[in-house]
Structure 1
């Protein structure tokens, strides 16, 4: 497994947690519906967030993910890793939505080697990835720094977080989130944003837990990533819209421990748990 000093995590781990209602872009992996005849449209209203059917589906399906090595200096290997990780995420979440009886389509993946301006807005400084819900696309940026010293665990975690926003979009959670946020004041809006971001981070950790044996994930290295977030997770954001570092770490630990979407219901959590 590739390793990287934790000081290298500042851009890869904290950045990329960007989302938008507007999307664009050509796809390298086109969206396709999950094949389940009993699927239904996502729920609506507050219950879509607080009592979503995904919460009752148990442990996230294991995709037996083996994305392979990520050597330094190879753009082809990097692209292969991103594609395989997306396929693993697709397999796990397609199965989970099927268990929940919810309709699902896979997100698109667009791999870029330079920052691009999209209808989602200007590319955020330092970001290595983002998800746009308008076209259901994950944009993953391969930088020269990442090519020189790629960190497989950090890249996988980032992708799983962006995919977590897609899960929110497809499950109806974001329908409630955006409606509530658009009618809220500043303080309430920031809390809603924290609930959304902390849930995506928890979903990410749920997935990372299910692939821990197959990837494999070194426990000491994972603990180091969580500790990095505990100390630095809030430093990249000018306002508290992602949660304080210890709060981010707590939801990461919860998702990794229980490995099920039901552990990530930030929408029913007390205000003190989404600070």
Structure 2
């Protein structure tokens, strides 16, 4: 595909993500836009923290017992600033046989997203193996109603979310989502959500969640920006290596980055995702290198994650 899609990049590429902490539980909320593709999506306010349901005393775990040759993921600040994932090199090239999305066809959408998720599993399993870190894929659940999870109720208007308690990505299948059949938009959305699972396994998400629990509002926003901008970068690193089979053209990528640079910060009611130019900056870093090494927002200057 050598031409741009006949509309601006979907807001699935600008998914509204807010992380909330409740005891040991963290929920990542993703909200595809309900606005026309010619306009930026309306931002969703984060649900009050008091509405996040704490996890049960014995929360379910999808993690397997590490092999002898593996090591535990770093904890504390080192998880974010010195992760072994930063030293494993470029993401592996994957031929992603995800198929095509047919407009309005829920079965084709589920098949495509499942295919992208499978490619993400293959790519990240390789990276975790090189880092000698335990890996387990996230669960993927498609729903047509707003179901609850161990992390709490489904927030009003949310299109999907990642719950760290049961390590599950919840994806809503709605008419609004099915109207957009352009695969790269949905692939970026899935890759971003999956990046939060990567952060969870690597100890990055728990560190930011614990740090934000008692932080002042301004510090909490700063932590959120480092987390979200890294997810943008990691998703883009994957997308580079799967670009050929997912029909991600350079023209589409450039148009998306330019739009985000100019409009990304207009999407959010508060600065928890970073300014538009910084969103574009970290996406460009990930896409240009194809490596998690470019995504260390934990050591980034405050200006680049502002």
How many Å separate the matches in 1 of 2:64 and 2:195? 17
2:170 paired with 1:168: no
CA contact (8 A) 2:226 2:305 kept: yes
How many Å separate the matches in 1 of 2:157 and 2:6? 18
Partner of 1:265: 296
Q: How does 1:95-134 map to 2 (within 5 A)?
A: 95-134=126-165
CA contact (8 A) 2:66 2:134 kept: no
Partner of 1:5: 7
How many Å separate the matches in 2 of 1:189 and 1:146? 31
SS in 2 for 1:131: strand
Partner of 2:227: 196
How many Å separate the matches in 2 of 1:263 and 1:158? 20
2:120 paired with 1:89: yes
Partner of 2:92: 61
- Post-superposition offset of 1:182: 1.9
How many Å separate the matches in 2 of 1:33 and 1:83? 22
Q: How does 1:1-275 map to 2 (within 5 A)?
A: 3=5, 5-6=7-8, 9-10=10-11, 12-20=12-20, 21-22=25-26, 33=64, 37-275=68-306
How many Å separate the matches in 1 of 2:65 and 2:173? 29
Partner of 1:27: none
Q: Compared with structure 1, are the counterparts of its residues 128 and 3 closer, same or farther at alpha carbon in structure 2 (3 Å cutoff)?
A: farther
How many Å separate the matches in 2 of 1:95 and 1:55? 13
Residues paired across the two proteins, number: 268
Give unmatched runs, 5+ long, in structure 1.
Answer: 25-29
C-alpha distance after superposition, 1:13-57 (max 9, x if no partner)? 323524452579xxxxx9575996522211112111101100000
How many Å separate the matches in 1 of 2:67 and 2:263? 42
CA contact (8 A) 2:229 2:274 kept: yes
Which segment is superposed worse, 128-137 or 219-228? 219-228
SS in 2 for 1:253: helix
C-alpha distance after superposition, 1:224-257 (max 9, x if no partner)? 2222322332333221111111110110011000
Q: Structure 2 length as normaliser, TM-score?
A: 0.81
CA contact (8 A) 1:4 1:150 kept: no
Give unmatched runs, 5+ long, in structure 2.
Answer: 28-54, 56-60
Q: Compared with structure 1, are the counterparts of its residues 124 and 223 closer, same or farther at alpha carbon in structure 2 (3 Å cutoff)?
A: farther
CA contact (8 A) 1:129 1:158 kept: no
SS in 1 for 2:140: strand
- Post-superposition offset of 1:177: 1.2
- Post-superposition offset of 1:139: 0.8
Cα RMSD over matched residues?
Answer: 2.3
Which segment is superposed worse, 210-219 or 265-274? 210-219
CA contact (8 A) 1:16 1:130 kept: no
